[in-house]
């Protein structure tokens, strides 16, 4: 089996499993317990908080552990909705957001908020001039813009967009779920107010996430109870998963260094794209070449339909997707590719091939051979 779907989820890193196991066995104690066994579990959470803070240039107390990336997005958006109020306020998101931003903001629109979606250019990057027009300094509002897109891997002009929104006195949330652990994401360089992270996109398990909340930013908890996570997200902490997320953050901080794993992933991805284009006519690479995460190739195969290719690829042992995992089984073309101005035929002919630090040259070479054969068979 060759796994090329790392934007859907990643393999849990063996070192992450090792870090987690003691907290599923001997160290099962409640971190709120006052005795020493509880306090050492509490210390493990504090360590994980520091590891995540270090990865994104935050202060540890600004890190709130959550149940997943979707929860983080909803927490930020709902807190902001309450802050700005529905009368005479405005919410701006991009057209290419994940459903974990589109659905909660649609729910806001349904109860009377003015929600606007700003488009992207043909390379999949936000139209900053349109953002300037949408942002209104006369009313309270917020911008939610993803750092990197889950389908194309295209990195958004987040620093510029944040400056535009904040100049109007607006708050900024970013869904950085597809960027953290892949490219540098630093809240000490880009002053977003809230930032969402999901563990399973960078070798921690599924079911654990983070919401970064900049000190001083307004926040109203969605889940109230025992006051864990500094009152921001009550509920007894999911200690093994939090410890795993911390360990993954530390691993990926190292893998992002020059000469380390993610650079190698970038070379593999480039080799994959170049080889597909050299082996077949009518292979188009979607999205910005310059502004993107190193692990994604988003490729259109003219004359093919991705939903015909996927079962054949699966049978050949290649696991990948058309668009995002959440879109599987949907008959509409991807909203991301439509926003980029692609025809339905182009959108339906595209595969997302996403690598990770566990991808090997041998796997990529085999995948190239099989994808070429399947594309020829489908044409
Ligand atoms: N946002 C983006 C950009 C994603 O890619 C995903 C996962 O596919 C999510 C949000 C949801 O994260 P989670 O699966 O942790 O709920």
**Residue (of 70, 339, 337) closest to 200 by Cα position:** 70
- Residue 113's CATH number: 3.40.640.10
C-alpha of residue 209 to centroid of ligand 1, in Å: 10
Please check whether residue 97 is in contact with residue 175, taking contact to mean a CB–CB distance below 8 angstroms. Answer: yes
d(CA 369, CA 106): 43
Mark whether 48 and 93 lie in a shared domain. Answer: yes
C-alpha of residue 20 to centroid of ligand 1, in Å: 22
**Residue (of 15, 11, 2, 16) closest to 245 by Cα position:** 16
Going residue by residue through the chain (379 aa), what tens digit of pLDDT does each one get?
Answer: 999 999 999 999 999 999 999 999 999 999 999 999 999 999 999 999 999 999 999 999 999 999 999 999 999 999 999 999 998 999 999 999 999 999 999 999 999 999 999 999 999 999 999 999 999 999 999 999 999 999 999 999 999 999 999 999 999 999 999 999 999 999 999 999 999 999 999 999 999 999 999 999 999 999 999 999 999 999 999 999 999 999 999 999 999 999 999 999 999 999 999 999 999 999 999 999 999 999 999 999 999 999 999 999 999 999 999 975 555 556 789 999 999 999 999 999 999 999 999 999 999 999 999 999 999 999 8
Q: Which of 225, 255, 285 is the last residue of a domain?
A: 255
Question: Look-up: residue for tokens 């306020």?
Answer: 89
Q: Which atom of ligand 1 is nearest to the CA of 68?
A: 15
> For atom 5 of ligand 1, which residue has the closest CA?
150
Mark whether 214 and 105 lie in a shared domain. Answer: yes
Mark whether 147 and 245 lie in a shared domain. Answer: yes
Number of domains in the chain: 2
Mark whether 46 and 118 lie in a shared domain. Answer: yes
C-alpha of residue 177 to centroid of ligand 1, in Å: 6
Mark whether 272 and 169 lie in a shared domain. Answer: no
> For atom 14 of ligand 1, which residue has the closest CA?
69
Report residue 187 as tokens: 């809240």
Mark whether 70 and 152 lie in a shared domain. Answer: yes
Ligand 1 pocket at CB < 6 A: 68-70, 98, 100, 146, 150, 175, 177-178, 198, 200, 209
Q: Hey, which of 7, 10, 70 would you mutate to test ligand 1's pocket, going by the most ligand atoms within 8 Å of its Cβ? A: 70
C-alpha of residue 36 to centroid of ligand 1, in Å: 36
Mark whether 145 and 193 lie in a shared domain. Answer: yes
Q: Which of 255, 275, 299 is the last residue of a domain?
A: 255
Mark whether 235 and 279 lie in a shared domain. Answer: no
Does the pTM surpass 0.95? The reply is yes
C-alpha of residue 73 to centroid of ligand 1, in Å: 9
Q: Which atom of ligand 1 is nearest to the CA of 73?
A: 10
Mark whether 33 and 66 lie in a shared domain. Answer: yes
- Residue 342's CATH number: 3.90.1150.10
Q: Hey, which of 198, 200, 241, 325 would you mutate to test ligand 1's pocket, going by the most ligand atoms within 8 Å of its Cβ? A: 198
pLDDT of 337:
96
Q: Hey, which of 178, 179, 207, 209 would you mutate to test ligand 1's pocket, going by the most ligand atoms within 8 Å of its Cβ? A: 178
Q: Which of 219, 240, 255 is the last residue of a domain?
A: 255
Report residue 46 as tokens: 């504090």
Mark whether 77 and 158 lie in a shared domain. Answer: yes
Q: Which atom of ligand 1 is nearest to the CA of 149?
A: 3
d(CA 254, CA 54): 11
Q: Which atom of ligand 1 is nearest to the CA of 325?
A: 8
Report residue 30 as tokens: 């409640």
Domain of residue 197, residue span: 14-255
Mark whether 152 and 230 lie in a shared domain. Answer: yes
d(CA 51, CA 57): 10
Mark whether 358 and 225 lie in a shared domain. Answer: no
Please check whether residue 144 is in contact with residue 79, taking contact to mean a CB–CB distance below 8 angstroms. Answer: no
């Amino acid at each position: 089996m060759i796994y090329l779907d790392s934007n859907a989820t990643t393999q849990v890193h063996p070192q992450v499993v090792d870090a987690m196991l003691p907290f599923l066995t001997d160290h099962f104690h409640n971190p709120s317990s006052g005795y020493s066994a509880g306090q050492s579990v509490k210390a493990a959470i504090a360590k994980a908080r520091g590891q995540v803070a270090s990865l994104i240039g935050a202060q540890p107390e600004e890190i709130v552990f959550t149940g997943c990336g979707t929860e983080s997005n909803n927490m930020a958006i709902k807190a902001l909705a309450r802050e700005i109020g529905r009368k005479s306020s405005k919410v701006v998101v991009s057209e290419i957001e994940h459903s974990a931003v589109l659905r909660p903001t649609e729910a806001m629109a349904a109860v009377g908020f003015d929600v606007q979606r700003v488009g992207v250019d043909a390379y999949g990057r936000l139209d900053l001039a349109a953002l300037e027009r949408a942002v209104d300094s006369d009313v309270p509002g917020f911008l939610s813009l993803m750092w990197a897109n889950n389908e194309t891997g295209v990195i958004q002009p987040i620093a510029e967009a944040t400056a535009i929104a904040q100049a109007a006195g607006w708050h900024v949330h970013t869904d950085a779920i597809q960027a953290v652990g892949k490219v540098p994401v630093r809240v000490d360089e880009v002053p977003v107010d809230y930032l969402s992270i999901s563990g399973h996109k960078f070798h921690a398990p599924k079911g654990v996430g983070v919401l970064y909340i900049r000190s001083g930013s307004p926040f109203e908890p969605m889940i109230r109870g025992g006051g864990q996570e500094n009152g921001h997200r009550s509920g007894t902490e999911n200690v093994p998963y939090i410890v795993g997320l911390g360990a993954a953050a530390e691993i990926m901080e190292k893998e992002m260094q020059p000469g380390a794993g993610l650079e190698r992933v970038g070379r593999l991805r480039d080799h994959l794209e170049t080889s597909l284009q050299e082996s077949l006519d009518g292979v188009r690479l979607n999205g910005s070449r310059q502004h993107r995460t190193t692990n994604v190739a988003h490729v259109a195969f003219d004359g093919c339909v991705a939903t015909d290719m996927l079962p054949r690829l699966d049978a050949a042992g290649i696991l990948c997707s058309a668009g995002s995992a959440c879109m599987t089984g949907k008959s509409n073309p991807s909203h991301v590719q439509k926003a980029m101005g692609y025809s339905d035929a182009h959108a339906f002919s595209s595969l997302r091939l996403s690598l990770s630090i566990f991808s090997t040259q041998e796997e990529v070479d085999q995948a190239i051979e099989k994808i070429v054969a399947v594309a020829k068979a489908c044409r």
